[in-house]
Amino acid sequence: MKKPTTAKEYIQQVPNEHRKDFIEFHELICASAPDAVSCISYGMPALKQHGIVVYYANWEKHMAIYPMPSAMKAFASSLNSYVTSKSTIQFPHGKRIPKKLIRDIVAFRVEENNIKYKLKKKR
């Protein structure tokens, strides 16, 4: 299978049984950071705005968002019902996507990147 170079190509490679849910996931993440640019990094879709905002991907049994450890820490109390790791949140296929949580996490990461960018720009 050809490595995707765009989010659209990545989505086309998602198995049919998961594609509709992944498109919803993708659109939610992108709408949560309207000024961010979509790209492929480490073989998965990502959003960039003054650096990577989040990565996200489809897997056999779940979809995942990779929002960086700082966001994992900030939202720890909201993540108890999900499988997580240091920088990953898994959402099982066939389950409702927690839209508000995802919007909040993406907004947090956008703001975090904006702050870092402004501080860097001042130097």
Distance CA(37)–CA(49), nearest Å, equals 7
pLDDT at residue 118, rounded to an integer:
85
Within-domain flag for 20: yes
- pLDDT tens digits along 59-111: 999 999 999 999 999 999 999 999 999 999 999 999 999 999 999 999 999 99
CATH code (residue 38): 3.90.1150.200
pLDDT at residue 92, rounded to an integer:
96
Residue 10 exposed, middle or buried by CB count within 10 Å (0-12, 13-18, 19+): buried
Count of domains in the chain? Answer: 1
Within-domain flag for 2: no
Strand order in the sheet with 44-48: 37-41, 44-48, 52-58, 62-66, 89-92, 83-84
Whether pLDDT at 46 is above 70: yes
Whether pLDDT at 1 is above 90: no
Tell me the residue range of the domain where 43 lies: 7-122
Report the percentage of the chain scoring pLDDT > 90.
91
Q: Which two tokens stand for residue 111?
A: 């703001």
